[in-house]
Amino acid sequence: MTENEGSGGRQTEDGPQVRIFDTTLRDGEQSPGISLNTQEKVEIATQLARLGVDVIEAGFPITSPGDFEAVQAIARGVEGPTVCGLARTHKADIDAAWGAVKEAARPRIHTFISTSDIHIEHQLQATREDVKGQARAAVALARSLCEDVEFSPMDATRADVEFTAEVCAIAVEEGATVVNIPDTVGYTTPEEYGAFITKLYELIPGLAEVTVSVHCHDDLGLAVANSYAGLLAGARQVECAVNGIGERAGNCSLEEIVMLLRTRRDVHGLDTMLDTKELARTSRLVSRLTGYQVPPNKAVVGRNAFAHESGIHQDGVLKERSTYEIMDATEVGHESNTIFLGKHSGRHALQDALEQLGFRVEGEALNQAFKRFKELADKKKQVSALDLEAIVSDEMREQTERYVLESFDIEAGSDKPPLARVAVKLPSGVTTSAEATGDGPVDAIFIAIKDAVGVEAELRRYGVEAVTEGTDALGEVTVVLRANGVLATGQGVATDILEASARAYVRALSNALEGAAVREAEEATAEAAGERSPGP
């Protein structure tokens, strides 16, 4: 497919197509408590490529060596989408972004600076002229390194439209290929946002020759509605995140905007190139690796999205699904649970099933996955695709953890409080043990783990979800805690909820340690280059 000349990406040979710019790994990872390592980011990026997103904003390379490494790994190893790195208008940021993405088949540098007076005065402590000068220099430098350059006027929807147009015009003059209009604090309304973009088309010569993008936050619950309004006004790239994760209330939800476009093509004539059958799996993977659970009533990917409780609704659906369903559940991958293995299934059958799910597992990783599978198969009559996804993702996380749960045991009786014994391997490779009592078995396990690791932690949230239905279902435990001065999340999967709880707590502590290291690196970078802005 090629763009028609002069369309700015707004028209293709096959009709209007909307590019999906996924920022799960950049804006999404800035959500409190999320700390993904390089392997987890590559795993998500690989699934995003399978989903068919056009652009992966892989991170903010200047912020830490770990973020640089992750963006570089995605650029080197993930095929298909454009790989994008975020940068402020500082030379060091742009150089770092280019260093991280330059080995991608399709690299992009995304640079930004605020155009709202409140940001210019209080955050940048600069002037409008300074902003114009920095925007010009940054886009020119980025364009000298990379053919594909995106520019964002941060907090645009609270800025003067004429001044924002001046800055964006400079970016276009200097060679920006994409101009993104962020609703950074989720302040605007659909009517205002559509009118803002329409006005920019009127004020900026050449804007119709580049791709206009929308980036909306959900502070007022309007991120999807505002993004849709921007697309109706002529934008042809939408910036979004899986499950809507992101700063504060989050971003435009990828699955919601994609299915809005796909389902109501009769109204707007727009669509994306995504394989929507991968939406549910992508949602589950991101939820599992970030620890951010998907609400049951979440549109498109929530477990109740295609469930019917009302007798009237059930009667209608049994007679004709379209009476109460506007989408087919299979179109978004909700009924992907078709792979079943049993306790007699061998290693080859497991490997084949994992490949059908998109996991290429070999060597020792396959051995470990097979061991977990056999343990699960002894407890369940059938092991489903959802079970396999859960245990393989669980094993992949364990390989990169700083703390590793070696063993745990619980003694409980009616006449005494439960006693937990645990052994945890430290980053040094030394295994330490501890035992503790608590108000219940889970409390005892958590206290014993804290004692073994030697880290004080405050439990902020504890939740349990079933991966599949039935009394023999895998349990997925999510733990959110504060330790080492950061908020961190961990998840654990097992048929035994106590084992899953122990795994989740150890992983949360590992992520807290990783998060503290990243924070120290970010603070050092901020001191050297000025205050870090969170981005559009």
pLDDT tens digits along 414-445: 788 999 999 999 989 999 999 999 999 999 99
Tokens of 71: 């963006």
Cα within 13 Å of Cα(164), Cβ side: 29
| Domain harbouring 184, CATH code | 3.20.20.70
Q: In this structure, is residue 182 part of a structural domain?
A: yes
Tokens of 435: 């035992």
Check: CB of residue 344 under 8 Å from CB of residue 374: no
Between strands 475-483 and 107-114, the pairing is: unpaired
**Can you tell me the mean pLDDT for 352-374?**
82
**Can you tell me the mean pLDDT for 231-237?**
98
- Cα–Cα distance, 243 to 222 (Å, whole number): 15
Neighbours of 312 (CB within 10 A): 10
pLDDT tens readout for residues 294-350: 888 999 998 888 765 555 555 565 567 677 677 888 888 875 555 667 777 888 888
pLDDT at 289: 87
pLDDT tens readout for residues 197-211: 999 999 998 999 999
Q: In this structure, is residue 260 part of a structural domain?
A: yes
- Owning domain of residue 109: 20-290
**Can you tell me the mean pLDDT for 161-171?**
98
pLDDT tens readout for residues 42-51: 999 999 999 9
- Cα–Cα distance, 205 to 408 (Å, whole number): 66
Q: In this structure, is residue 299 part of a structural domain?
A: no
Q: In this structure, is residue 83 part of a structural domain?
A: yes
Helix axes 190-203, 223-232, angle to 10 degrees: 30
Q: In this structure, is residue 474 part of a structural domain?
A: no
Residue with tokens 């932690």: 457
Q: In this structure, is residue 186 part of a structural domain?
A: yes
- Cα–Cα distance, 50 to 289 (Å, whole number): 17
Whole-Å CA distances, 25 to 178, 272, 338, 426: 20, 20, 29, 28
**Can you tell me the mean pLDDT for 467-477?**
79
Say whether pLDDT at 89 is over 50. yes
**Can you tell me the mean pLDDT for 126-146?**
98
pLDDT tens readout for residues 137-147: 999 999 999 99
Separation of CA 241 from chain center:
6
Say whether pLDDT at 221 is over 60. yes
pLDDT at 401: 74
Q: What is the pTM of this model?
A: 0.82
- Cα–Cα distance, 155 to 533 (Å, whole number): 11
The alpha helices in 233-310, defined as continuous H runs, are 254-263, 265-268, 279-290
Neighbours of 49 (CB within 10 A): 19
Neighbours of 502 (CB within 10 A): 28
Q: In this structure, is residue 319 part of a structural domain?
A: no
Percent share of the chain, pLDDT over 90: 62
Q: Mean pLDDT score of the chain, rounded to an integer? A: 88
Q: What 3 state SS string does 505-530 have?
A: HHHHHHHHHHHHHHHHHHHHHHHHHC
**351 pLDDT tier (thresholds 50, 70, 90):** confident
Q: In this structure, is residue 108 part of a structural domain?
A: yes
**Number of domains the chain is built from:** 1
Degrees, nearest 5: CA angle 484-431-408? 90
